[in-house]
């Protein structure tokens, strides 16, 4: 059974700081891995999708890396802004049917 752990559980940083969120998973036989953002009272928004054949993906100030063999992924946020404050969830994908196994998330607060 896939277990997904995210560290740290919560993080508070001053505006402008670069930061790294960590995700580890127990079963390396995944298809892809996605990072999501969740704002309070709202649904999830997909940020980045890393295919199993890729090692990283970039979108604006976000960069996600994937090391399947070690069961790890990181999300790097450059020059953080207060608008980045949210919960960030990683989700490895099992099988070919788009089934996502979510971690417990990292609650990020960026202080102005």
Partner 1 sequence: EAGVAQSPRYKIIEKRQSVAFWCNPISGHATLYWYQQILGQGPKLLIQFQNNGVVDDSQLPKDRFSAERLKGVDSTLKIQPAKLEDSAVYLCASSLTGFSTDTQYFGPGTRLTVL
Binding site for partner 1 (CB under 8 A): 4, 31-32, 41-46, 49, 51, 89, 91, 93, 95-100, 102-105
CA dist list (Å): 45 to 49, 54, 84, 89: 12, 21, 13, 10
**What whole-number distance in Å separates Cα of residue 62 and Cα of residue 64?**
7
Using alpha carbons, select from 65, 62, 88 the residue that is nearest to residue 77.
Answer: 62
Min CB(17)–partner 1 separation in Å: 25
Min CB(105)–partner 1 separation in Å: 6
* CB closer to partner 1 out of 96 and 112: 96
* 38: Cα separation from own chain's centroid: 11
Min CB(90)–partner 1 separation in Å: 9
* CB closer to partner 1 out of 42 and 60: 42
Q: Which residue has the tokens 């099988």?
A: 95
Min CB(46)–partner 1 separation in Å: 5
């Amino acid at each position: 059974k896939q277990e997904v752990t995210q560290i740290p559980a919560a993080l508070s940083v001053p505006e402008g700081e670069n930061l790294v969120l960590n995700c580890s998973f127990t079963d390396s036989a995944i298809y892809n891995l996605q990072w999501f953002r969740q704002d309070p009272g709202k649904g999830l928004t997909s940020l980045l999708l890393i295919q199993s054949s890729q090692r990283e993906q970039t979108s604006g100030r976000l960069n996600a890396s994937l090391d399947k063999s070690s069961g790890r992924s990181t999300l790097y946020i450059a020059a953080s802004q207060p608008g980045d404050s949210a919960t960030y969830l990683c989700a490895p994908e099992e099988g070919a049917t788009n089934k996502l196994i979510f971690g417990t998330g990292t609650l990020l607060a960026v202080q102005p």
